[in-house]
Amino acid sequence: LPYSEYENVKDTDSDLIIVGFSQLGSESDWRTANTKSIQRALSKENGFSLIYSNGRQKQENQIKDVRSFIFQEVDYIVIAPETETGWDTVLEEAKEAGIPVIIVDRMIDTADDTLYAAYVGTDKYEEGKKAGLWLEKYLKEQESKDKSSLKKKTYNIAVLEGTLNSTAQIGRSKGFEEIAKTHKEWKILAQESGEFTKAKGKEVMAKYLQEFDDIDILLSQNDDMTFGAIEAIQEDSLTCGVDGKIKIISFDGVSEAFDRMEEGLINVDIECNPLQGQLIANIIERLEKGEVVNKFSYMDEKVFEAENAAAERIGRSY
Ligand code: GYE
pLDDT tens sequence across 260-308 = 999 999 999 999 999 999 999 999 999 999 999 999 999 999 999 999 9
Same domain, yes or no: 131 and 247: yes
Residue 315 lies in a domain: no
251 pocket-lining for ligand 1 (C-beta < 6 Å): yes
Contact 23, 55 (CB under 8 A): yes
Q: Which atom of ligand 1 is nearest to the CA of 221?
A: 1
Same domain, yes or no: 264 and 196: yes
Residue 313 lies in a domain: no
Distance separating alpha carbons of residues 241 and 227, to the nearest angstrom: 12
- Over residues 158-207, the pLDDT tens digits come to 999 999 999 999 999 999 999 999 999 999 999 999 999 999 999 999 99
271 pocket-lining for ligand 1 (C-beta < 6 Å): no
Positive or negative, the CA dihedral 198, 201, 203, 209 is negative
Same domain, yes or no: 285 and 172: no
Whether 146 has a pLDDT exceeding 70, the answer reads: no
27 pocket-lining for ligand 1 (C-beta < 6 Å): yes
Diameter of the chain by CA atoms? 73
What confidence score (pLDDT) does residue 148 get? 64
* Amino acid identity for residue 192 in this structure: E
Distance separating alpha carbons of residues 309 and 104, to the nearest angstrom: 28
Same domain, yes or no: 68 and 143: no
Looking at every residue in the chain, the average pLDDT score rounds to 95
Contact 100, 292 (CB under 8 A): no
Cα of 301 from ligand 1 centre, angstroms: 14
Same domain, yes or no: 131 and 268: yes
Same domain, yes or no: 130 and 56: no
222 pocket-lining for ligand 1 (C-beta < 6 Å): yes
The interaxial angle of helices 29-41 and 277-288, nearest 10 deg, is 30
Say how many Å lie between the first and final Cα of the chain, rounded.
Answer: 28
- What is the best residue among 37, 38, 54, 105 to mutate for testing ligand 1's pocket, by most ligand atoms within 8 Å of CB? 105
Question: What value does the mean pLDDT take over residues 75-102?
Answer: 98
Same domain, yes or no: 180 and 111: no
Question: What value does the mean pLDDT take over residues 313-318?
Answer: 97
Residue range of the domain that includes 48: 3-122+273-300
Residue 32 lies in a domain: yes
φ/ψ of 208, rounded to 5, equals -55, -40
Closest by CA to 88, choosing from 60, 115, 61, is 115
Q: What ipTM was predicted for this assembly? A: 0.99
Cα of 152 from ligand 1 centre, angstroms: 32
289-to-76, 116, 293 alpha-carbon distances in Å: 14, 17, 11
